[in-house]
Structure 1
């Protein structure tokens, strides 16, 4: 099983262009017919200032190793011309619709598309799950039909509510989204939301752990399946928590206890029948 590593794909929403890093799993030549494979769309963190590579290619490779395609979405950040919202949601919707055109080319199982967010990227994923999967709310943001819906989400030390600890400055929140409608993802979650895996550390000094708790609480109220793991130690932004994603010399990037999140996530993907049990 080979992977077409880091092919760049440019897409556009209206007059705004954005990029995807694509990691396609090649068909196995020995098979009589190509295998339809699940796909993960990854939204790295970076405080909406940048996208950290620590939560991009290493995560894509982990999904590739499971036999899944992976895309890293270069979603809208804060710049001189744009705020993050609503453009980041429109870009993610555009990406999902683009997959419809690629399903035969790359053998994508469109019924098994997973959104994966880290930190600020989780805010985009959580807002998509809350706003964009509710047909009534979506029409206010995205005029086109959503041709491909994600089947599940993975939220890693997520920003959910921008009023409870991150960002610390209200003016930064206004740069992210001048419309406070986008600030609190949990407030707009409906029964249309998809099953979600959440993990974070209770010692996260950047994004308060209550972010994870309030989103899980809202899912519980709506009877949306979820699994949440709160680890007793560890800093924000762990990514895999191993040397693979360690910024050299930064001990905060390592935590042997929290590395178990990946195995737990794998088990959950099997529980959701996104991956086979064996």
Structure 2
């Protein structure tokens, strides 16, 4: 993992938690990315909705970024334009560095919590730089005196260009009750924009991952039911942004055998055995059972470099015809 930090304004800082390409994961050339806006009512940026969230998505294969945007604690005369500008700069910088950080084109998600969710929703409906998909956790969509800054109206700006949105929260939330989510979802429905909503029965505001890790020792912030939002969001993101290539599954190849079929299976078929031994004669030798049970021609060739890429692809195409 690589960690980067980038100042994008006088008070704002972007932190990235990044995967790096590796020979053992050569099915991955690019990663989806997620940018996280923590909550805090524009008075602060919550750590519990920053790094723990980013590391959870990193573990699922995302290039994860957190933005510490400008708050009234940083700048005494701050206005909503300050964090809005920070958000635009963060999106622009990530996209400008897409190739350097191996981020897929049109694979940038934006996730906000509470007041940070209002900033995320405003960014997705107002700014020239908008995410490809949007996730809002217990969002403060409607106007509220609890926020330290006067925020732009979100609802009136939802249109057909608003990105697909995943919303989650709890019915018990007294700070941002379900009406915030429901009004936003209703407007998305009117504009025929994709969305998914999860409102859990129990749970306090600011639950983050709803696990002990992000509980501050408070049992009311731990809820296994509510914690499901994270895996639900990962499943939804895969539907929206795609999944990593699995050879022979989602790479467009159709056939019973390929260079990603295990050697033990290939050697059981007379036709496949004859073909693969022509290209990889070392397989005629006695190999330990545990190797034949998991190794494939692609992996074997990666280790032994017996075939050129052209010959490996030639073998693949011939196996696919069997």
Q: TM-score, normalised by structure 2?
A: 0.71
The runs of 5 or more residues in structure 1 that have no matched partner are 133-137, 139-145
Equivalent residue number for residue 4 of structure 1: 2
Structure with the bigger percentage of helix? 2
Q: Which 10-residue stretch deviates more, 30-39 or 52-61?
A: 30-39
| Cα distance in 2 between the residues matched to 1:252 and 1:213 | 24
- Give structure 1 regions of 4+ aligned residues with deviation exceeding 6 angstroms: none
The reply on whether 1:48 has 2:46 as its aligned counterpart is: no
The alignment yields a C-alpha RMSD, in angstroms, of 2.0
| Cα distance in 2 between the residues matched to 1:101 and 1:276 | 22
Q: 1:217 aligns to what SS in structure 2?
A: helix
Equivalent residue number for residue 255 of structure 1: 223
User: Relative to 1, partners in 2 of residues 1:57 and 1:96: Cα closer, same or farther, differing over 3 Å?
Assistant: same
Written as runs of structure 1 = structure 2, the 5 A alignment for 1:83-94 is 83-94=78-89
Residues paired across the two proteins, number? 245
| Cα distance in 1 between the residues matched to 2:240 and 2:96 | 25
Equivalent residue number for residue 157 of structure 2: 188
| Cα distance in 1 between the residues matched to 2:57 and 2:37 | 14
Structure number with greater Rg is 2
User: Contact (CA 8 Å) 2:170, 2:177: kept in 1 or not?
Assistant: no
User: Relative to 1, partners in 2 of residues 1:190 and 1:120: Cα closer, same or farther, differing over 3 Å?
Assistant: same
Written as runs of structure 1 = structure 2, the 5 A alignment for 1:39-188 is 39-79=33-73, 80-132=75-127, 138=128, 146=129, 149-162=130-143, 166-168=144-146, 173=147, 175-177=148-150, 182-188=151-157
Q: 2:182 aligns to what SS in structure 1?
A: helix
| Cα distance in 1 between the residues matched to 2:245 and 2:116 | 28
The runs of 5 or more residues in structure 2 that have no matched partner are 247-322
Larger RCO, structure (CA 8 Å, separation 6 or more): 1
| Cα distance in 2 between the residues matched to 1:271 and 1:101 | 25
| Cα distance in 2 between the residues matched to 1:117 and 1:224 | 19
Q: TM-score, normalised by structure 1?
A: 0.82
Written as runs of structure 1 = structure 2, the 5 A alignment for 1:7-46 is 7-12=4-9, 16-31=10-25, 35-46=29-40
User: Contact (CA 8 Å) 2:28, 2:244: kept in 1 or not?
Assistant: no
Q: 1:272 aligns to what SS in structure 2?
A: helix
Deviations 1:102-126 (A, max 9, x none): 1222111131000000111000011
| Cα distance in 2 between the residues matched to 1:32 and 1:109 | 15
Q: 1:130 aligns to what SS in structure 2?
A: helix
Deviations 1:67-89 (A, max 9, x none): 11011001121144433412212
Deviations 1:238-266 (A, max 9, x none): 11101111102x12211111111112111
Q: 1:23 aligns to what SS in structure 2?
A: strand
Q: Displacement of 1:183 after TM fit?
A: 3.7
